[in-house]
Amino acid sequence: MLELLRDIHRRKFGQSVLDALADGSKRYVEIARTIGEDGKYVHAQTLASTLDYLRNGLGVIEKRRCAHHDEYALTSIGRQLLRATQVIGAVETRPEP
């Protein structure tokens, strides 16, 4: 699992995609909008490449065909990794005594 965490953090928008999907499945444009709200510039090709890598390379997200569009969602391993990154983030931002 540690190696998966490293791979996600090495990939541009990797963690941002996991965070964007934390509350459920989203369409591509919704993911891009969520990431962009954090003040990050989202290049379409980079985001598409990251989604592809997270889906095909790591298996942490899945792509579902819905009525007239595709949606991305976390897989079970993706949800586990998200929880792990949230714990790590909480520890890193905790004030020192």
Per-residue pLDDT at 90: 57
97 in a structural domain:
no
Name the pTM for this structure: 0.82
Per-residue pLDDT at 66: 85
27 in a structural domain:
yes
For the chain, give the percent of residues with pLDDT over 70.
90
96 in a structural domain:
no
For residue 7, the domain's CATH number is: 1.10.10.10
Region 28-46 average pLDDT? 86
Per-residue pLDDT at 56: 95
Q: How confident is the model at residue 59 (pLDDT cuts 50, 70, 90)?
A: very high
46 in a structural domain:
yes
Buried b (16+ CB within 10 A) or exposed e, 71-91: bbebeeebeebbeebeeeeee
74 in a structural domain:
yes
Q: What is the residue range of 62's domain? A: 2-88
Domain count, the chain: 1
81 in a structural domain:
yes
95 in a structural domain:
no
Q: What is the DSSP letter of 55?
A: I
Region 61-77 average pLDDT? 93
Per-residue pLDDT at 23: 93
